[in-house]
Amino acid sequence: MKVLTFGASTSKTSINKALARFTATLVPGAEVEVLDLNDYSLPIFSEDLEKEIGQPAAAKAFFDQIGAADAVIVSFAEHNGYYTAAYKNLFDWASRIDQKVFQDKPTLYLSTSPGPGGAASVLAAAKGSAQFFGVDLKEAVSVPSFYDVFDAETAGITEPKILAELTAAAEALALQEVA
Protein backbone atom coordinates (compact mmCIF):
# COMPACT_ATOMS: atom_id res chain seq x y z
CA MET A 1 0.00 0.00 0.00
CA LYS A 2 1.52 3.32 -1.09
CA VAL A 3 0.75 6.04 1.45
CA LEU A 4 1.35 9.66 0.48
CA THR A 5 1.83 11.91 3.47
CA PHE A 6 2.58 15.55 4.13
CA GLY A 7 2.31 18.35 6.61
CA ALA A 8 0.31 21.27 5.22
CA SER A 9 3.10 23.69 6.08
CA THR A 10 6.29 25.02 4.51
CA SER A 11 8.19 25.15 7.80
CA LYS A 12 11.47 23.23 7.60
CA THR A 13 10.81 22.10 11.18
CA SER A 14 7.10 21.42 10.71
CA ILE A 15 5.57 19.52 13.59
CA ASN A 16 2.69 18.60 11.29
CA LYS A 17 5.08 16.99 8.82
CA ALA A 18 6.63 15.07 11.72
CA LEU A 19 3.18 13.91 12.89
CA ALA A 20 2.13 12.87 9.38
CA ARG A 21 5.39 10.99 8.81
CA PHE A 22 5.12 9.20 12.17
CA THR A 23 1.48 8.25 11.63
CA ALA A 24 2.30 6.81 8.21
CA THR A 25 4.76 4.42 9.90
CA LEU A 26 1.81 3.02 11.85
CA VAL A 27 0.04 1.86 8.67
CA PRO A 28 0.80 -1.86 8.43
CA GLY A 29 2.88 -2.70 5.35
CA ALA A 30 2.90 0.86 4.04
CA GLU A 31 5.34 2.17 1.48
CA VAL A 32 5.53 5.81 2.58
CA GLU A 33 6.19 8.82 0.37
CA VAL A 34 6.62 12.13 2.23
CA LEU A 35 5.91 15.32 0.31
CA ASP A 36 7.41 18.70 1.15
CA LEU A 37 5.18 21.66 0.27
CA ASN A 38 8.34 23.67 -0.42
CA ASP A 39 8.64 21.63 -3.64
CA TYR A 40 5.39 23.18 -4.93
CA SER A 41 6.12 26.86 -5.23
CA LEU A 42 3.28 28.59 -7.07
CA PRO A 43 2.10 32.11 -7.76
CA ILE A 44 -0.95 33.22 -5.80
CA PHE A 45 -4.01 31.74 -7.49
CA SER A 46 -6.35 33.97 -9.45
CA GLU A 47 -8.68 33.22 -12.32
CA ASP A 48 -6.98 35.90 -14.41
CA LEU A 49 -3.57 34.32 -13.90
CA GLU A 50 -5.00 30.87 -14.64
CA LYS A 51 -6.31 32.17 -17.98
CA GLU A 52 -2.88 33.59 -18.73
CA ILE A 53 -0.62 30.68 -17.71
CA GLY A 54 -2.90 27.64 -17.49
CA GLN A 55 -2.18 24.99 -14.91
CA PRO A 56 1.32 25.22 -13.40
CA ALA A 57 3.46 22.09 -13.46
CA ALA A 58 3.71 22.08 -9.64
CA ALA A 59 -0.08 21.87 -9.26
CA LYS A 60 -0.23 19.05 -11.80
CA ALA A 61 2.58 17.18 -10.03
CA PHE A 62 0.81 17.47 -6.67
CA PHE A 63 -2.47 16.27 -8.16
CA ASP A 64 -0.73 13.37 -9.94
CA GLN A 65 1.08 12.28 -6.78
CA ILE A 66 -2.22 12.03 -4.94
CA GLY A 67 -3.60 10.03 -7.86
CA ALA A 68 -0.68 7.60 -7.75
CA ALA A 69 -1.13 6.87 -4.03
CA ASP A 70 -3.34 4.23 -2.47
CA ALA A 71 -4.02 6.42 0.56
CA VAL A 72 -3.22 9.90 1.88
CA ILE A 73 -2.32 11.28 5.31
CA VAL A 74 -2.39 15.05 5.78
CA SER A 75 -1.55 16.92 8.95
CA PHE A 76 -2.83 20.49 8.94
CA ALA A 77 -0.88 23.34 10.46
CA GLU A 78 -3.09 26.15 11.71
CA HIS A 79 -2.43 29.79 10.89
CA ASN A 80 -4.92 32.11 12.55
CA GLY A 81 -7.45 29.30 12.83
CA TYR A 82 -7.25 28.17 9.20
CA TYR A 83 -5.06 26.57 6.53
CA THR A 84 -1.58 27.88 5.90
CA ALA A 85 -1.39 30.19 2.89
CA ALA A 86 0.99 27.83 1.07
CA TYR A 87 -1.32 24.82 1.41
CA LYS A 88 -4.46 26.79 0.54
CA ASN A 89 -2.81 28.18 -2.59
CA LEU A 90 -1.57 24.75 -3.74
CA PHE A 91 -4.99 23.28 -3.01
CA ASP A 92 -6.72 26.07 -4.96
CA TRP A 93 -4.54 25.44 -8.02
CA ALA A 94 -5.03 21.66 -7.79
CA SER A 95 -8.80 22.03 -7.41
CA ARG A 96 -8.90 23.74 -10.81
CA ILE A 97 -7.49 20.58 -12.39
CA ASP A 98 -10.32 18.62 -10.78
CA GLN A 99 -12.45 19.63 -7.80
CA LYS A 100 -11.93 16.12 -6.41
CA VAL A 101 -8.33 16.89 -5.48
CA PHE A 102 -8.08 13.80 -3.26
CA GLN A 103 -9.54 11.60 -5.99
CA ASP A 104 -11.62 9.47 -3.58
CA LYS A 105 -8.48 8.16 -1.88
CA PRO A 106 -8.85 6.82 1.66
CA THR A 107 -7.51 9.67 3.77
CA LEU A 108 -6.55 10.47 7.35
CA TYR A 109 -6.71 14.07 8.49
CA LEU A 110 -4.49 15.09 11.37
CA SER A 111 -3.58 18.35 13.05
CA THR A 112 -1.28 19.41 15.82
CA SER A 113 0.04 22.52 17.52
CA PRO A 114 2.30 23.35 20.44
CA GLY A 115 -0.73 24.40 22.48
CA PRO A 116 -3.69 22.56 23.98
CA GLY A 117 -5.98 23.27 21.01
CA GLY A 118 -4.15 20.86 18.69
CA ALA A 119 -5.09 22.98 15.64
CA ALA A 120 -8.65 21.73 16.03
CA SER A 121 -10.11 24.73 14.16
CA VAL A 122 -8.34 23.96 10.89
CA LEU A 123 -9.09 20.26 11.29
CA ALA A 124 -12.79 21.06 11.68
CA ALA A 125 -12.70 23.23 8.55
CA ALA A 126 -10.97 20.47 6.58
CA LYS A 127 -13.46 17.84 7.78
CA GLY A 128 -16.38 20.12 6.95
CA SER A 129 -15.35 20.51 3.33
CA ALA A 130 -13.86 17.05 2.69
CA GLN A 131 -16.96 15.73 0.91
CA PHE A 132 -16.61 18.38 -1.80
CA PHE A 133 -13.03 17.52 -2.69
CA GLY A 134 -13.03 13.76 -3.20
CA VAL A 135 -11.81 12.89 0.29
CA ASP A 136 -12.73 9.42 1.52
CA LEU A 137 -12.15 10.50 5.12
CA LYS A 138 -11.52 7.52 7.37
CA GLU A 139 -10.44 9.29 10.55
CA ALA A 140 -9.50 12.74 11.86
CA VAL A 141 -7.26 13.17 14.90
CA SER A 142 -6.13 16.35 16.63
CA VAL A 143 -2.96 16.10 18.73
CA PRO A 144 -2.66 18.82 21.38
CA SER A 145 0.57 20.01 23.00
CA PHE A 146 2.84 18.40 20.41
CA TYR A 147 6.13 19.02 22.20
CA ASP A 148 4.77 17.36 25.34
CA VAL A 149 3.72 14.15 23.56
CA PHE A 150 6.36 13.74 20.81
CA ASP A 151 9.88 12.47 21.39
CA ALA A 152 12.18 14.10 18.82
CA GLU A 153 14.91 11.48 19.35
CA THR A 154 12.68 8.54 18.47
CA ALA A 155 10.36 10.60 16.23
CA GLY A 156 7.40 9.02 17.99
CA ILE A 157 4.39 9.81 20.14
CA THR A 158 4.93 9.03 23.82
CA GLU A 159 1.43 9.63 25.22
CA PRO A 160 -0.41 6.27 25.24
CA LYS A 161 -3.93 7.60 24.57
CA ILE A 162 -2.84 9.67 21.56
CA LEU A 163 -0.66 6.82 20.28
CA ALA A 164 -3.68 4.49 20.50
CA GLU A 165 -5.85 6.99 18.55
CA LEU A 166 -3.24 7.37 15.82
CA THR A 167 -2.67 3.61 15.63
CA ALA A 168 -6.41 2.96 15.27
CA ALA A 169 -6.63 5.63 12.55
CA ALA A 170 -3.66 4.13 10.68
CA GLU A 171 -5.16 0.66 10.94
CA ALA A 172 -8.49 1.96 9.59
CA LEU A 173 -6.60 3.30 6.59
CA ALA A 174 -4.86 -0.06 6.09
CA LEU A 175 -8.19 -1.89 6.11
CA GLN A 176 -8.97 -0.18 2.81
CA GLU A 177 -6.29 -2.27 1.10
CA VAL A 178 -7.91 -5.47 2.37
CA ALA A 179 -11.45 -4.52 1.32
The number of distinct structural domains making up the chain is 1
Read off the pLDDT of residues 95-150 as tens digits, 9 standing for 90 and up: 999 999 999 999 999 999 999 999 999 999 999 999 999 999 999 999 999 999 99
Q: Is-contact 71 3, C-beta < 8 A?
A: yes
**For residue 176, what pLDDT is reported?**
61
Query: CA-to-CA distance for 129 and 102, rounded, in angstroms?
Result: 12
Q: Measuring CA to CA, how many Å separate 130 from each of 27, 47, 59, 99, 158?
A: 21, 23, 19, 11, 29
Q: How many CB atoms lie within 10 A of CB 78?
A: 24
Write down the pTM of the prediction: 0.96
CATH code of the domain containing 57: 3.40.50.360
Residue span of the structural domain in which 94 resides: 2-178
Average of per-residue pLDDT values in the chain:
96
b/e sequence 32-60, b meaning 16+ C-beta within 10 Å:
beebebeebebeebeeeebeeeeebebbe
Beta strand residue intervals within 45-134, DSSP E = 71-76, 105-112
